[in-house]
Amino acid sequence: MADKTTTHYNGSLGSTLKDGRYTLVRKLGEDTTSITWLVRDSEGAKQFHAAKILSAEHTAEPDGPPRELEFMQKITEAGTASGLEPMGFIRLHDSFLVEDKHLCLVQTLCSGSLGTMRRAAPFKRLPVYMARNSMHALLTCLEALHSLKIVHTDVHLGNILISNTGLSLPDELERYLTDNAVAMNQEINLPEIQPIPHGVTHQTSASEAKAMSFYPADYGHGEPPRSAYFCPFALRPPEVVLGSGFGPAMDIWAVGCLTWELIAGCWFFAPQDGEDQFSVADDHLAKMQELTGQCFAKAVLDRAKYGDQFFDQDGNLLRIPDLVPMTIEQAFTNYKIEGLSEEDMKDGADFVRCCLELDHEKRPTARTLLDHRFMRKAFGC
C-alpha cells in the first residue's frame, strides 16, 4: 500500500501487481520520480521484466509520464513492424495504474548504466572500442527515434543501460536470485537497490565487448521536435542556451559530449561562474567556441532569443571577449589517455567536433554520423 508520507508506491517484496500477474522480486533502482522493480511475470514466455512505478505526483504531470507512455507505445508499435528492439530499444510490455495513482511501465529488463560502469573504471575512462560501440548503438537508436519525430532531450550516460547478457534466460536469472539473497536495509527494513549484473567491466576485451548491447532509457523528458526541455547542464547545446531553436540535433550534441566523456573520463564542458565578471552561461558559450574552433555565425545569433544577452553586434561575447582556443586533438593529448592510438585520437576528435557543430541546423544527423570513419570500426566493423 502507499505510504502517506511519500508519493512513491511503497511496494514490498512478494507483493503483486495487476491482479497477481506481476510479483515484486527485487528493487532495481530508485530516483525522485520512480522506483523500478524486478518483477516475475506469471504469463508469457519472458518470465522477468523491469516494472517502473512512478510517483503519484509524477504520474499526474500532464507533460511527464503520459508522454513517456505515449512515446514508449509508439516505439513498441514501430518495433513490432520494423524490429526496433534488436536495434537497442527498451520495449514496453505492459502499462497500468497501481492504486489508481501510480503509472507502472513494464519494460525490457536491463542491468546497470554505462555511467556507473565508467565511474568504476580507473580515471573514470572506458577503452575507446567500448566508447565507440556504445555511441554507435546510441546513434542507431537515435536515427530510429528521430524518424518517429521524437527527440529524447535527456541523453546522458545514466540513461544508457547495458543488457544483462549473462543472465538473459529466465532459468539463469532464477539461479542467480537463488544464490544471491535480497539485501535489506536493517534500519528501515526495506530492500536495498540491487541492479542485475551485466558481467562486463572496463577490462572486458574488444572481442567480448562486441556482444554488449546498449539501451537508451527514460523517455519521460521526450518531446516532439517543437519545444525545449532542459537537458543536463554539461550536455546543454547552444540552441538551448541561446533559445535559437529545438530539434533532434540536441541529441546529437549530447553524443559528442558523451563520446569525449567516455574516453577522457570527464565532462567536455565544465563551465564556471565568474561571480561578478561573467555567468556560467557566458563561460559555457566561450568554451563551446574555444574547443570547437568555431564562432557563432550571424545567422545563428539573429534567430537566438537570448543572443543579445551574451553577444555584441559583431558576434563577440560581452563579458568574455578574449578566448583561448584549444583543439580537441590537443585536449585529448593533454589527458595522456592510455591505449588511445594516434589514429583513434584524430578520428575521435573529428567525430566529436562534427557532433558539436554550433549551428544546430547544420549539425549532422545520426545517419550521417554512423558513416563517420570513427564509427566504422564499431563492433569490429
The pLDDT-based confidence of 10 (bands split at 50, 70, 90) is confident
Query: Which H helix or E strand runs over 215?
Result: strand 214-216
Work out the average pLDDT over 18-25.
96
Tell me the backbone φ, ψ of residue 238, rounded to 5 degrees.
-60, -30
The pLDDT-based confidence of 2 (bands split at 50, 70, 90) is very low
Model pLDDT, residue 186? 80
Query: Max Cα separation, the chain?
Result: 68
- What are the residue ranges spanned by the domains of the chain? 1-109+166-197, 111-163+199-381
Amino acid at 291: L
Cell (9 digits) for 174: 532464477
DSSP state of 282: H
Query: 1-109+166-197 with 111-163+199-381: one CATH topology?
Result: no
pLDDT in tens, 298-321: 999 999 999 999 999 999 999 999
Domain 111-163+199-381 part of CATH 1.20.1630.10: no
Cell (9 digits) for 177: 536470485
The pLDDT-based confidence of 49 (bands split at 50, 70, 90) is very high
Cα–Cα distances in angstroms (integers) from residue 243 to residues 274, 307, 377, in the given order = 22, 8, 36
Q: To which CATH superfamily is domain 1-109+166-197 assigned?
A: Phosphorylase Kinase; domain 1 (3.30.200.20)
Range with lowest mean pLDDT among 60-64, 197-201, 215-219:
60-64
pLDDT in tens, 342-361: 999 999 999 999 999 999 99
Q: Distance between CA atoms of 377 and 360, rounded to whole angstroms?
A: 26
Average pLDDT, the chain: 89
Model confidence, pTM: 0.91
Work out the average pLDDT over 242-264.
95
DSSP per-residue codes, 238-274:
HHHHHT---STHHHHHHHHHHHHHHHHSS-S------
The pLDDT-based confidence of 76 (bands split at 50, 70, 90) is confident
Q: Are 243 and 308 in contact (CB under 8 A)?
A: no
pLDDT in tens, 266-291: 999 999 999 889 999 999 999 999 99
Q: Distance between CA atoms of 170 and 42, rounded to whole angstroms?
A: 12
Cell (9 digits) for 24: 515484486
Q: Distance between CA atoms of 373 and 376, rounded to whole angstroms?
A: 5
Q: Are 360 and 238 in contact (CB under 8 A)?
A: yes
